[in-house]
Amino acid sequence: MIQNNFARIGRQNAEFALQFVKDEEFDLVSHSLLGTQARKVRFNPTTGSAQQKFLTDVESPPIVEPIHVAADDITFF
């Protein structure tokens, strides 16, 4: 169940980003979305330039079931 939810995150993020660009009327020159490879992105806000590098040999972190804790079992201070 959790794994299926994580599987949709990338697609939902991509759809949101494309809709945001459209709504804000940005000029989109190029995009690189979805797929199975991780990317490293460098962005320079002063110049607007961006660089992308596909990463290899990246291990995905294990998906762990969340721990359910009763609300009255938590002490913050």
| CA distance from start to end of the chain | 34
- Alpha-carbon span 58 to 15, nearest angstrom: 24
pLDDT class for 20, splitting at 50, 70, 90?
Answer: very high
**Global pTM?**
0.53
- Contact in structure between 31 and 38 (CB atoms under 8 Å): no
Please write the tens of the pLDDT for every residue from 31-50: 898 888 888 899 999 998 88
Q: Which stretches of 1-77 are assigned E, i.e. beta strand?
A: 39-43, 50-54
User: Where along the chain do its domains lie?
Assistant: 2-57
Q: 43 forms bridges with which residues in the sheet?
A: 50
